[in-house]
Amino acid sequence: MASHTVTLIPGDGIGPETTAAMRRVVEASGADIAWEVAEAGAHLMAEHGTPLPASTVEAVKRNKVAIKGPVTTPVGTGFRSVNVALRKALDLYVCLRPVLSIPGAGGRYDDVDLVIVRENSEDLYAGVEFEAGSAAARKLIALCEEEGAGTIRPDSGISIKPISTAASERIVRYAFDYAEKHGRAQVTAVHKANIMKHTDGLFLRAARDVAAAREGGIAFDERIVDAFCMNMVADPAQFDVVVFPNLYGDIASDLAAGLVGGLGIAPGANIGDEYAVFEAVHGSAPDIAGQNKANPTAQVLSAAMMLDHLGELEAAERIRRAVRAVYAEGACLTGDIRKATGCDQLAASCTEFTDALIAAIGTLE
Ligand code: NAI
Ligand code: MG
């Protein structure tokens, strides 16, 4: 019997390609994993009436650990995001995204080593929305007038931004615990409390309270989100662990990925007290899906995070060393990286790059 059983959700778009590559690399790393494949994605709508069948959620609950490819969410209309639904169903309240420069990946900086800790359960991603012109939207608009809270145009759609003390304290505590466990020196909380006093203001107060109650010498710092973006682009090396409410954390993740070489190399995890689901930062990349062009590095590095979580530290490190070696060598890199590095050498396919990773694991022993 394998040492660990993991639920594998290939997803759609480039997901089946990047997860197949990931699976081959994990198998080459020496980790003993049994994969239980479960489906999610738009292609299930016709048969199941939902992009996230209950059996998929059950499979993750059974194995406690899952790794998934991206799933397409139609913009503006259609079903709600599968990713958001899964995070909700499993109470995965932490979104953890390490951002690390990989020499050779064409990043703007080669000294970035920060960790994004994003609140994953509330804020504008709570999914509480009212369509413009609906009875509920009209009621809310009337209530705002009545309370003297402000005038809202009658043809407005409304998204609710709930931010609670409990969830804010929980995520900031996680950021400090993570910093302590991984020998990091500083936690920065990012907010827009000057404008949104009752939501971001509450988040900031919770962060300050948690920071004040901590011992252990980890420094606490705070930034307003727009200034943070400028600071990130100008000097990302100043940040260590950075904790965000949901929306800013999502945006900052892509910003940070862009600084170190792009979405193709940015891994992540969704973590709760009981379950963990590992996935890249990027989406389903419909523009390159099915063409064997996707960069599987982000998915592969997400698997390394998963192996850390499972206690398979050596296999995880083997994968990370192989990634660094293939990028440092620079002979076999996918099109996104070729573009980022401005190199006109022929781009490797997803499969060729994966072969190079597996070969590197073999020679690094
Ligand atoms: P995206 O991340 O899929 O793509 C943005 C750009 O980056 C595209 O040009 C794409 O080709 C490129 N790219 C992304 N990953 C790449 C990789 N591994 N290798 C090479 N190039 C890569 O973002 P987009 O286009 O905004 O979203 C597409 C769909 O994905 C949407 O339906 C969105 O809702 C969904 N999505 C799903 C996520 C998830 O399942 N966790 C996360 C983010 C978006
Ligand atoms: Mg995102």
Q: Is 1-105+261-364 a domain of CATH 3.40.718.10?
A: yes
Q: Is the pLDDT of residue 77 over 60?
A: no
Q: Which of 12, 200, 250, 336 is catalytic?
A: 250
- Report the distance separating Cα 173 and Cα 260, nearest Å: 27
The tokens of 50 are what? 């939902």
- List residues near ligand 1 (CB under 6 A): 14, 18, 70-73, 83, 263-264, 279, 282-288, 294-295, 298, 336
Task: Note whether 364 and 356 are within 8 A (CB).
Answer: no
Q: Among 73, 125, 118, which Cα is nearest to 255's? A: 118
Ligand in closest contact with the CA of 83: 1
What's the pLDDT score for residue 365? 65
- Three-state DSSP string of 67-134: EECCCCCCCCCCCCCHHHHHHHHCCCCEEEEEEECCCCCCCCCCCCEEEEEEECCCHHHHCCEECCCC
What's the pLDDT score for residue 73? 85
Residue nearest to ligand 1 atom 22, measured at CA: 264
Residue nearest to ligand 1 atom 34, measured at CA: 73
Asked if 125 is an active-site residue, the reply is: yes
Ligand 1 atom having least distance to the Cα of 282: 2
CA distances from residue 316 to 24, 26, 131, 133, 356 in whole angstroms, order as listed: 14, 8, 46, 52, 17
What's the pLDDT score for residue 1? 72
The tokens of 46 are what? 């016709």
Percent of the chain with pLDDT over 70: 98
The string of pLDDT tens digits covering residues 232-277 is: 999 999 999 999 999 999 999 999 999 999 999 999 999 999 999 9
What's the pLDDT score for residue 49? 84
Distance in Å from the first CA to the final CA of the chain: 25
| 215 vs 200, higher pLDDT | 200
What's the pLDDT score for residue 208? 98
The string of pLDDT tens digits covering residues 157-185 is: 999 999 999 999 999 999 999 999 999 99
pTM: 0.93
SS3 assignment, position 264: helix
What's the pLDDT score for residue 76? 61
SS3 assignment, position 184: coil
Asked if 287 is an active-site residue, the reply is: no
Q: Among 350, 317, 328, which Cα is nearest to 69's? A: 350
Residue 79 binned pLDDT confidence (cut-offs 50, 70, 90): low
The string of pLDDT tens digits covering residues 282-321 is: 999 999 999 999 999 999 999 999 999 999 999 999 999 9
The string of pLDDT tens digits covering residues 86-110 is: 998 999 999 999 999 999 999 999 9
- Report the distance separating Cα 52 and Cα 40, nearest Å: 5
Task: Note whether 327 and 343 are within 8 A (CB).
Answer: no
DSSP structure class, residue 199: T
Q: Which of 111, 139, 197, 226 is catalytic?
A: 226
Q: Among 39, 25, 31, 105, which Cα is nearest to 69's? A: 39
Give the phi and the psi of residue 34 in degrees, each rounded to 5.
-100, 130
Give the phi and the psi of residue 360 in degrees, each rounded to 5.
-65, -40
